[in-house]
Structures are given as structure tokens and as C-alpha cells.
Amino acid sequence: MRLVSELRRRNVLRMAALYVVAAWLIVQVAGVLIDLAKLPDWIGTTTLWVLIIGFPIALIFSWFYEITPEGIGLEKDSDPDVALTHVSDRRLDFLVISLLCAAVILFAYDKWGISDPPDRSVAVLPFADMSPNGDQEYFGDGIAEELLNELVRLDGLYVAGRTSSFSFKGTNENLSAIAEALNVGAILEGSIRKDGDRIRITAQLINASDGYHLWSETYDRELANIFEVQEEIATSVAGALGVRLGVGTINAFRGAGTQNVEAYEAYLQGQDRNLTNQEKIRLYERATELDPNYAAAWSQLGLRTLATMWDSSLDQASEIVDRAYPLVLRGVELNPESAIAQYRLAQVRNARYDWIGGEQGFAQAIDLLTDRPIVASYGAMLLRTGRTAYAQKQYALAVSLEPLGGLPVTFSWHASLAQGRFAEAKEISNWQVAANRIENNLDIALNERDPEEIKPAMQAMPNTNVAAIALYAPLLAEFDSPERILSILRDVYLDENLQWPRKLHDIAMMAAYFGDPQFALKVKGQEVRATSARLAALWYPVMSEVRQLPEFKKLVTDLNLVEYWRAYGWADLCRPLGEDDFTCI
């Protein structure tokens, strides 16, 4: 206590607080000045180290020196009756409070303040469909998306992401409000009018600050020249924004990777969210038939083929993956510099339990293009491998890259559930379509282990659902009898006439909840050995006893997860025991 009192009397503690706050402010201001003046990064690092080294020196100085009427002198030489201890205390307090106020203001501005739009920044809005039949909306979206993708490649130009820009489709927001929300200085909007083999594209670039046109143009062309029109528009926009471009590849357009207009149309139609998966597959197949060298179409065809796993029986899963793999591989072979092709291939590699290949593929894709879909897809891979905390960071990064889509990364509810953040999982799940939301709510309720949540979640299953009739209705009738429940689960499991996509998952979750981890592992193991689609459930809280069984080690080893963990990092709930063993909780 005497030491603390002496530190206070000599103002050492006040000096420490004063130094820390002042140093933080200096670092913040230095960072701004370095960016503005384009100074070398080493200046910031040097400043930080000087401040760190100066901290103990300042404390030593404060211990040995005192403020007196004659100025600063050694504390041992000062007369306690004359030394201005009280005055110096007040001055130091005033300095600390002033600097703290400045720090709070700077922090608040940095976190919540509205920053000016970057120089040479633009958002591309979907082009309105003005065609006679009003049936070319997909084409207007495709034109805008293609322009956006190409403008992103231009040096010195900041382009708002697709999800954010397209979130304003169909809204009545004025352009100034959209520009402010997207933090851009200009808006590119336009319209298309397609009539037979002719197309008219009108594009205009609006200055967000005053609403004046920076540039506008109308293009009447044969549809066969659509890619030339895209190039003209993008070059004109870049020039209007004052972006200085070189010639050659940096300003070369590739028209989504094809020069075949019919193939391009089929590809754009396949992007329609309202189509079924099979309809999309047929459109992408048509695109690849019309242009066998169309990399983007091959990649999308592979992805849609893989997606059929969600609604197929387990005995079809392996054959589906085998069909999808050469399709996405063809996309990469045709265009290895395509981030989309690379991450589609990584997704299929994950479905083949090639986690190391998937990790490498995602790294390459993100290096080519760090955008929301690719980063979120990487998060899904991490989630399946049990690295749920790191997956959550990727989901957060994905949202920060595209914050205005109106949607969280919907798959991220699995990560929230795995970490026991049930309210958050429910909130994210609510963004999904009704059928998925009902199934998700049951999974969440089982992990909460709340019977009053589980029962209504089971009752919410549609009466036409096979699971509701064959499984959940009998379980509800016997809910208070775990032994009878487990008997029903085994009967349904053995009945091959009762089939639905989530059958094994649903049975495993119920078995884990009602206290039979061995049976739950047997059923879930059968599912995940056939398909990785619902592998994330292995890391749910309700599966805790399952993960502690000896057979669980064999399962994750057979799925190539242990090899991946040793190379890239262990699952949150598993840790190594030497070089040859591990444990999970």
C-alpha cells in the first residue's frame, strides 16, 4: 500500500494514463497522415516502437522529478512544503481528461462516422427491362452484373458489390440515398429494350452529390454485338470517372467467357432464382452445348448438379458427386484465372471429402476475388470440418464485404448452433424459406434440450411431409417415454419403404436427444459417409456424447478430417494427443 501511495504522490499513475492515451492518439493520427501523404509503412511501425520504448522512460522520469515554482527538479531536492504537488495533480488530471475526450471523439467518428465515398467509386444498379413483352428482366440483370464484374477489374476504381447494389432492385429509393448507403460517388443505371435480334441499351452515370449526369449514351445494336456494347459502356464509364487505363488485357472484355449470344442468354436465364434446380441444369447444359468452351457455364452446371444431393437418396450421392466433378474441373481448365471456377471446384472437392484440396482451392479463389459468396462458401467448408469459430469469422467477413443485401449468410446458423448461440441461430434461420426454417427450428430446439420447444417444432411439420406422418406423429404420442421413442426410431430406420432426404439425420438427432448416442452415431455415420451435405450436425451440442465414443474417432478419420486438421488446424471440439491420437468432446 505504501508503494501505491508513493506512486500516486509522485504522479506516476497519472503519467501512465496520460502516456497511454496520448500514444494511442499519436498512432491514430500517424496512420491517417501516412495514408494521406503515401508515406512508407515503416514510419508507422517505427512510431509505434518509439512510443513503446518511451513508456518506461516516462514513468521513471515521473518518479524522480517533481514540478516546483522554479520548474522541474529532482523529487529528492524539492521541498514538500513548496512543491506544487496539488497544482501538478490538477494539471495532469486536466490533460488526461482532455486527451480521453479526444480519444472518445476519434473512436466514435472512426466507428460510426460517415466517411466520404472513395474517389472514383461507382455502384451498378440492375438495368430496367423496357422490352415490349416485359420478359427480359434476366437480361437486364445480366448486363448490369457483367458490367460490374468487368469494372471491378479496372485499376483505381472502387465498385460496390453485387449483393449490395442489387438489393435496391425494385425499390423507390432515390439515387442519392442509394449512393449514400453504398458509399459511392456515382451510380450507373440504365435500361434494355430487346425486340427480336435488335437491342437498345441506355446507360447513364449519375453524380451522387448533385444528381447531374456525368455521362449518358444509348446503344442500338444487333444482339450478336452485345459484348462489344458492354465494352463500350465500361470504357466510357471509366473515362467519365477519370480512371486512367492502359491498353490490352486490363481493359479487355470477355462477355462472361463466351462470344455466343445464345449461350450467354441461356447462362443468364439459369441465374433466375425462381427456377427449379433441374430447370437451371437444363439451361446450363444448353449453354455448354452452344459453346463447349464456356467456362462459367461448365462451373455452374457442376454446382447445380452437386446441389441435387440435397433432395436425393443416399445411394445416389456418390454418383452425383462423380458427375459434378468433371464439370467443375472443365470450368477451371478453360479459365484457371476465374475465381468462381476455382471455388466451385473447391466445393465439389469437399463433397469428395478432399478437405485439403478444398482448402487450397478456396485460398486460390479468395486470392483472385475476395467477395461475399466465395468467403461464405469457405465458411461452409470450415463448418463441416468442425472449425466453427473460424467459420463464424468468415461469415462475418462475408457480411462486411456485402452488408446491404438484406440477408445474413443463411448457412451460418449452423455455426451459431454449434457454438450454443441458440437465439442467434433462430434469428438467422428466420431468413430462410419456410420449409427449411421449420426443419431448422426443430434442430435448434433439440440442441436447446427444451421439450416445450421441441413439441411445437415437431407439430409444425407439414402434414404432407413423410417425416411428419411416419416419424414425428408417433414420437409426439410417446414423447414422455424415451424407451418407446427409441424403439420407434429403430423401426423407422429399418423400414426401407419410408424415405425422405433428411431421414438419417432426423433419426440420429432424436436418438442423441433421447439418450442413445451409440445408435445416433451409427445412423449419422451412415449418412455422412455417403454425403457431406449435413456433416455440420456432428458438431452440434446435442451430439456431445456421440463425439466421445471410440467409434467417432474412426468415423472422422475415414472422412479424411484428421488429416486435414493436422495440416490446417483442429476442430474446435477436438485436440491432438501426441502424433498418433486425438480426443473430442
- Flag the least confident range among 50-64, 145-159, 240-254, 539-553: 240-254
User: Whole-angstrom Cα distance, residue 532 to residue 350?
Assistant: 8
Residues 249 and 266 in one domain: no
218 and 243 inside one domain: yes
pLDDT of residue 35: 53
Indicate which CATH number applies to the domain containing 172. 3.40.50.10070
Same domain, 268 and 239: no
pLDDT at 408: 82
Q: Mean pLDDT, the chain, as a whole number?
A: 83
Q: What is the pLDDT of residue 82?
A: 44
pLDDT band at 216 (very low <50, low <70, confident <90, very high): confident
Residue 576, in any domain of the structure: no
> Predicted confidence band at 71 (pLDDT cuts at 50, 70, 90)?
very low
> Residue for cell digits 529528492?
76
Closest CA to 159 of 402, 417, 350, 382: 402
The verdict on residue 555 lying in a domain is no
pLDDT at 196: 80
Q: How confident is the model at residue 248 (pLDDT cuts 50, 70, 90)?
A: very low
On whether the CB atoms of residues 444 and 417 are closer than 8 A, the answer is yes
Query: What beta strand segments (E) does 84-185 contain?
Result: 121-124, 128-129, 158-159
In a domain, 288, yes or no: yes
Q: Report pLDDT for 519.
A: 98
Give the confidence band of 407 by pLDDT, cuts at 50, 70, 90: confident
Answer yes or no: are the C-beta atoms of 486 and 472 closer than 8 Å. no
Q: What is the DSSP letter of 526?
A: H
CB 154 within 8 A of CB 124: no
- Long-range interactions of 245-250: CB distance < 8 A, separation 24+: 245/154, 245/155, 250/153, 250/154, 250/155
Residues 208 and 93 in one domain: no
CA of 491: how far to CAs of 270, 415, 459, 487, 488, in Å? 42, 32, 21, 6, 5
12-31 pLDDT tens trace:
666 777 677 677 667 766 66
Q: Is the pTM of this model over 0.75?
A: no
* Rounded CA separation 444/466 (Å): 21
- Give Cα 413 distance to the centre of its chain: 12
430 within domain boundaries = no
- In total, how many domains does the chain have? 3
Report how far residue 193's alpha carbon sits from residue 137's, in angstroms, rounded to the nearest whole number.
10
Q: Is 304 in the same domain as 237?
A: no
pLDDT of residue 251: 38
Residue 332 lies in a domain: yes
Considering 83, 112, 141, which residue would you say is the last residue of a domain? Answer: 112
DSSP structure class, residue 123:
E
The answer, yes or no, to whether residue 262 has pLDDT greater than 90, is no
Instruction: Enumerate residues 6+ apart whose C-beta is below 8 A from 367.
Output: none
Give the relative orientation of helices 561-568 and 355-368 as an angle to the nearest 10 degrees.
50
Residue 485 covered by a domain: no
| Residue where one domain finishes, among candidates 233, 253, 273 | 253
* Inter-CA distances, 31 with 22, 48, 53, 99, 107, Å: 14, 10, 19, 18, 14
Specify whether 195 is located in the same domain as 292: no
Containing domain of residue 306, as a range?
Answer: 262-369
Which CATH number belongs to the domain containing residue 303 in this structure? 1.25.40.10
Report percent pLDDT > 70 for the chain.
79
Q: Residue 388 domain-assigned?
A: no
**Per-residue pLDDT band at 254 (split at 50, 70, 90):** very low
Beta bridge partners of 123: 187
Last residue of a domain, one of 70, 89, 112: 112
Q: Any idea which residue has 481448365 for its cell? A: 333
**One domain, residues 132 and 244:** yes
Do 74 and 196 share a domain, yes or no?
no
> Residue 125 and residue 519: Cα distance in Å, rounded?
53
Specify whether 293 is located in the same domain as 361.
yes
- 458 lies in some domain: no
| pLDDT at 136 exceeding the cut of 90 | no
Phi then psi dihedrals of residue 580, to 5 deg: -120, 0
Q: Are residues 183 and 240 in the same domain?
A: yes
Mean pLDDT calculated for residue range 360-367: 95
Matching residue, cell 446450363: 284
Q: Is residue 22 located within the same domain as residue 45?
A: yes
DSSP designation for 116:
P
In this prediction, residue 540 has a pLDDT band, given cuts at 50, 70 and 90, of: very high
Over its C-alpha atoms, the chain yields an Rg (Å, rounded) of 31
237 and 127, same structural domain? yes
Lowest mean pLDDT among 142-156, 523-537, 557-571: 142-156
Q: Determine what percent of the chain is predicted with pLDDT higher than 90.
A: 45
Please report which confidence band the pLDDT of residue 240 belongs to, taking 50, 70 and 90 as the band edges.
low
